[in-house]
Amino acid sequence: MMPAFARRVAALSRKEVLHIVRDVRVVYMALGMPVLLLLLFGYAVSFDLDRLPIALIDQDQTPSSREYAAALSASGAFAIVAHPREAPEVERAFRHGSYKVGVLIPPGFERTLARGESAQVQVLLDGADGNTTSVALGHVVGVTQAQTAALLQESGTGLLLPIDARVVMLFNPGMRSGLYVVPGLIALILAIMAVLLTALTVAREWERGSMEQLFSTPVRRVEVVLGKLLPYLGVGMVQVLLVTTLGAVLFDVPIRGSLVLLFACAALFLAGMLGQGLLISVVTRNQQVATQVGLLSSMLPTLLLSGFLFPVENMPVVLRVIATILPATHFIVILRGILLKGNGVGVLWPDMLALAAFAVVMLALSTARFRRRLA
């Protein structure tokens, strides 16, 4: 026979499972929202350039300048949509938002190449959109270096560029932003869903008075906490399977490491975030307040401070300390390590330890807060 402790936890978990199955809104939030968020963010958040409209000012009008313009178009990153004559025309177009990049080929471009010298081009960028233009600048420089080297070799002078840099890009050779963004999206989605699921459902019980009825039975606080969290932990693992599969199918995210390790780390992360949601529900006891606090404490830190979009190393010291505490920071490192690099426990154990510590603290605080007098 099962011990009394296990029977009570199992009974509470069964009650919570029935509540999840009967509430269509919970099912939608648990399974529908992760898919929707992954699709929206996965296709919307991209740092790749695909046929970005640019202006080309060809003041040389020679075969070499036209070949260079063709190389820009052939890269797939740019689409030449305008051919102004002077740089001021590009600035006026920037003000109207017609395009964000202009490339000026000065007179004497072909003559300079024929002398065996490195020709120059001028790149005009709309700095109001720093992300797009910085990526565009990198593409223009890459095309320029490759084309100049090819033209110098074809010129018959025997001269080459002074430096022959051969770059080997590991783990993401195509520099596709999807491989960088999707692991962060998985952490963001799981963080939001885990916190909101427990915060809302338990807060609803406080409002309806069923929590008081539950505490009139001979169950202990730790049994209530485990009984509430275990079903949602199961739902969270289904979410992990769902978003990981969609990431692999829709965005070609590889899975180079151990799936067992991935799910084990996800369980640690979910335990901490579910505990955070339970703590919010215990403190607020109100669905509206729980929703606001849950979103603020899960979405914003994960989005801004976890390394999802912005490198933690570039943040001020105070924010780096906060980022170190956040479980999403460590889970994103784990996801990128397992999915893209094939890392194992030997590399990821510090981040796993941080996730476990956060989960223990959240569950302990949630259990302790049940000591408050029931309203």
Of 121, 154, 187, which residue sits at a domain end?
154
Asked, for residue 223, whether it belongs to a domain, the answer is yes
Say if residue 41 is in the same domain as residue 57.
Answer: no
CATH assignment of the domain containing 116: 3.40.1710.10
Asked, for residue 289, whether it belongs to a domain, the answer is yes
**Do the beta carbons of residue 329 and residue 320 sit within 8 Å?**
no
Say if residue 127 is in the same domain as residue 180.
Answer: no
Residue bearing the bigger pLDDT, 11 or 371: 11
Q: What is the pLDDT of residues 266-284, one digit of tens each?
A: 999 999 999 999 999 888 8
Question: Quick check: pTM over 0.95?
Answer: no
Say if residue 66 is in the same domain as residue 27.
Answer: no
Stretch 64-68: mean pLDDT: 86
User: Nearest-CA neighbor of 136 among 103, 112, 169, 160?
Assistant: 103
Say if residue 243 is in the same domain as residue 349.
Answer: yes
Which range, 40-44, 159-163, 203-207, is most confident?
203-207
Asked, for residue 171, whether it belongs to a domain, the answer is no
Asked, for residue 353, whether it belongs to a domain, the answer is yes
DSSP conformation letters of 154-207: HTTS----S--------S-TT--HHHHHHHHHHHHHHHHHHHHHHHHHHHHHHH
**Which residue is it, tokens 């369980």?**
267
Q: Cα(358)–Cα(283) distance, rounded to whole angstroms?
A: 18
Domain of residue 259, residue span: 14-45+176-369
Say if residue 292 is in the same domain as residue 198.
Answer: yes
Per-residue pLDDT for 372 more than 50? Answer: no
Mean pLDDT of the chain: 81
Per-residue pLDDT for 163 more than 70? Answer: no
User: Beta-carbon neighbour count of residue 174 at 10 Å?
Assistant: 10
Say if residue 37 is in the same domain as residue 69.
Answer: no
Asked, for residue 198, whether it belongs to a domain, the answer is yes
Q: How many domains does the chain have?
A: 2
Say if residue 221 is in the same domain as residue 347.
Answer: yes
